[in-house]
Structure 1
Amino acid sequence: MESKNLTINESRILRELIKNSRQNISEISRNLNLSRNTVALIIKKLENSVIESYTVNIKQNTESNYIIAIVKSLDGIKKELLTEYFELTNGKYMVISSDSNFLNNLNYDEIHIARHRERGSENFNIDLYCDFCGGKIVSVPKTYEINRKKYYFCCDTCKSTFIKRQNALEKY
């Protein structure tokens, strides 16, 4: 994904959707302290410019291995055996399967076995903004979770000041 210049609220809403795309507008609105209309408008804008699709990640058996093969063609490979595949720039394909039957009659250039698969959002270039000062976070964010809500900070000072204010509010 190419880098896009997102506003602070666009970035915050996109982070919420990456965490859980099943949240409805009211939940996102409540989590970010934004109006429902604002959230709805921003989501519509993001769907037109940034969000390609909403997807389901199926829980995988952590004991299973993945077979990764480099093949010249997808011809003859049963689609139901594929976990996913990538078309490489050299015209070949990298195919991934967790089904050992996948190897039957497979003509491959290379084959590898992987023990662990983790999907993350590292391929997204999303600007993060400090939930205290609003500044852009340029290094690893400091985080704080309260009431099942995660906050992101640009530095330890913003994080500690935020926590002090939260503690002061709780006393009243």
Structure 2
Amino acid sequence: MINGSGFSRFNELELRALELLSEDSRLSVSELASRLGVSKATASRLIKSLRGKGVRFTVNITQGYPRAYVVARRRGEGECYRLVDGKYMIVLTAGDFNSLTKLISEVKGKEAVYIVLGQCSDTSELSTMPRLVCDYCGGPINGSPITYRRGRRVYYLCCKTCLRELKKRLSMRRHDAE
């Protein structure tokens, strides 16, 4: 995933690392360092920096082309889905990684970008419909969820009781941290 702060916020070394990881998402830190010509400590900091910028390393079905899923505040062109929180999921496909990065940079109002690195070998989990579960109790959410935003995090809850208890728990954590 790439944060909405913009794809251009990646430096040249980060973009090279993303390209290598897009070819083989299971590269070890040592192998990544070797291919980039940097130390293992630098490669480790690079991965930490990418994660800090919101990069998530995932594997998904690409059907032969680089693909990205962009979460945005505005509706996109082409394949686009409305999400439960009112945002949109825009699906981008390109002939190569460079073309994909150009398409990503053109999306307005993006908040996150998930870049697909490869195909999953076991797709049996795709045959079941995903269910939304409460972030407090873990129970299923039937109908529209109650949403609670705290900072940059959005919580999905099944009932007002879970909302109240979640607020208490988060308040206690904040006081413990002080």
Bucket of the pairwise TM-score, normalised by the shorter protein: 0.3 to 0.5
Give the structure with the higher percent helix.
Answer: 2
- TM-score with structure 1 setting the length: 0.36
- TM-score with structure 2 setting the length: 0.34
